[in-house]
Amino acid sequence: MNCRSLLLGLALVAVACGQAPRKQSNLPVYLDDAQPLEARVDDAFSKMTLDEKIAMVHAQSKFSSPGVPRLGIPEIWCTDGPHGIRAEVLWDEWDQAGWTNDSITAFPALSGLAATWDRELSRLYGKSIGEEARYRNKTVLLGPGVNIYRFPLNGRNFEYMGEDPYLAGEMVVPYIEGVQSNGVAVCVKHYALNNSEVNRHTANTIVDDRTLYEIYLPAFKAAVQKGHAWSIMAAYNLYNDEHLCSNEILLDKILRGEWGFDGVVISDWGGVHNTLQTAKHGVDLEYGSWTDGLTMGKTNAYDNYYLAKAYKDAILKGEIGTEELDARVKRLLRLVFRTSMDRNRPFGSQTSPEHYAAARKIGAESIVLLKNDGVLPMAANPGKILVVGENAVKMMTVGGGSSSLKAKLEVSPLDGIKARYPGAEVVWERGYVGDVGGEYNGVSTGQDLREGRDAATLIADAVKAAEGADYVIFIGGLNKADRQDSEGLDRVQYGLPYGQDAVIEALAGVTDKLVVVNISGNAVAMPWVEQVPAIVQDWYLGTQAGHSLADVLSGDVNPSGHLPFTIPVSYDKNPVQTEAQYPGILRGTTIDGMPVLDMEYTEGIYVGYRWYDLHGGVLFPFGHGLSYTTFEFGEPKIDRKSMKDNGTVTVTVPVKNTGSVAGAEVVQLYIADAESSVSRPAKELKGFAKVCLEPGQKADVSFTIDREALSFFDADNHAWVAEKGLFRAIVAASAQDVRGTVEFELK
């Protein structure tokens, strides 16, 4: 080893240990973090060869891409999230590497996080999961997801943040800030229009510009411009007949152009399908293009990626220049300097008491009390509690696709209830048989859920046990099996699977103390809604799932979650109904050698409550959530002077806790344009605040409305427009629970 190499190695060790390297005149400038970021990037870039640049823009294993060993530039290591850090896998395979120190904290699914409507909880979530990623020395956390909940059959809705772009955008920003405070980049996904799992590689989304800009892009824009995300994941599907991993409009014109994104675009695994188009307008880093890394024998198969040898050959042949490659490499260097080569990067932690506490708190505050006819909270001394349902015992951290986890601990709902009521008689009956599996990519729950009784016997046994119970808690819903809440395939029915409706109806016939707990990341049909006195929307809550649920059922935590999506009465009430809308119409031509299905978003901007406000059919509305206390909203007032001074309007509403226990209410602000020249929704969410009040306490909640909140996207002029005229500020507790309205005029 020569003297220069030894000094470089010592400097890198010092950086890794968080110690300042000694100043050496012969060390590369980019090792000195006193230099401006761009100067360090330019200096490192100037020393790289063509082969080193090509190597950086594609994978070297399932989850890593090479750095530049000659220059001390480290590898980039990605990990699945977004609900916990994925177990280590083999270099070239999805199966487990067999580590014994990669069991982690499983955090609530992002649908649950969105249901908290709490920005500070989102920040806590991001900080906590970022610490776990940093502890495992990951460069990029593959999450969070902000695709819009378009309809209730999407298998990955549980990974996203609901049906409203404003809510998703407001909740994703603090998550990003929390993660990246650990020197770990987020990778916000899946950009964009990836709203279903069926045919996700071949679906060509047909959507008008106004709908694109108003519904499907705002959360990504917030992630970039407000959250300053360091990376974005391009989706599988197509838009405008181009795959998202090589899409000129979405990547070059909008993301990098209009929004000024200076981070890295990473392909979804296997999402790249060509070399030249991707080289000109596509991702910066290609992962997972269907190779095990060994198929070429002595020649590494990763050299066969579209941005590998084929890319270099195209440059050498003059088919494409190096300008795009140089820009890619600089973005990758920028990512490395923001993460692995930041010597002030904290060390992180894993499965700490603080992370368990965060998961429990977020989980409890995400739970939504949909209905309560006085059954909840449960009594301090409840007597006999009958718990019915497979989901009361089934582990939910394993399965569901790339978000599957190897959790160090998972408290089941049954165990959570038992722990909260150690003096009570707690009995479990299965009630139904759902998914008896429990393995994904080599991680196993270790549970044997096989059952010998038939459906009729299971129901009869549950009914018999219910007759003498003081409380009956049915815990069912969906799970992480294929065609449930899971990546790769969508749900096949809106109703509950496995005959659960029959179990619930039988229990309702023998007890008036029935609580139905639905665990899912999606809306489900509830034909028994009038027969059941209490209904709770639970989520996949991870490590502390059982404790979070017991906290709410017992009243230790007053429920404050509100729905991030609408629950329609039946599937035929949702906005996606035709074959052209979903799953799409197969066309006669191919793109990149693949058959293409055209999927038309003909519902336009009328997604979620925007649709239901016009067409009805709502069982539980967007933003709905009950409490064990009551809240009174006063008359909203508007500060008209603020519009004259700075172009904004301030709306203030007094809120009072009129009940007997402390609680939190989510105050929601919607805007209606009363005089628009174009079709606009009846109202749109433009503000929310979660306010915690003691019994009898009163607080003023204020919202600032600016021109952006009043604007629609004018596709003809490619501009956001706020038209003069009359607007209404609507203060509400849900999309259908309006508490006050005040008018104002934009002049």
Distance in angstroms (rounded) separating the CA atoms of residues 548 and 537: 12
664 class by beta-carbon count within 10 Å (0-12 exposed, 13-18 middle, 19+ buried):
buried
636 class by beta-carbon count within 10 Å (0-12 exposed, 13-18 middle, 19+ buried):
buried
Strands 649-657 and 698-705: what pairing? antiparallel
Strands 684-693 and 567-568: what pairing? unpaired
Distance in angstroms (rounded) separating the CA atoms of residues 313 and 75: 24
| Active-site residue, selected from the candidate residues 80, 102, 118, 268 | 268
- The secondary structure of residue 31, as a DSSP letter, is G
Distance in angstroms (rounded) separating the CA atoms of residues 637 and 730: 11
- The secondary structure of residue 95, as a DSSP letter, is S
Q: In the chain, how long is the greatest CA-to-CA distance? A: 83
Contact 335, 520 (CB under 8 A): no
DSSP characters over 441-459: TTEE--------S-HHHHH
Strands 534-538 and 76-80: what pairing? unpaired
User: Does the annotation mark 448 as catalytic?
Assistant: no
Distance in angstroms (rounded) separating the CA atoms of residues 350 and 109: 18
| Three-class DSSP category at 470 | coil
How many alpha carbons fall within 13 Å on the CB side of residue 478? 32
Sheet holding 242-243, edge to edge: 242-243, 238-239, 203-206, 594-600, 585-591
Q: Phi and psi (nearest 5°) for 363?
A: -60, -50
Catalytic (active-site) positions: 268
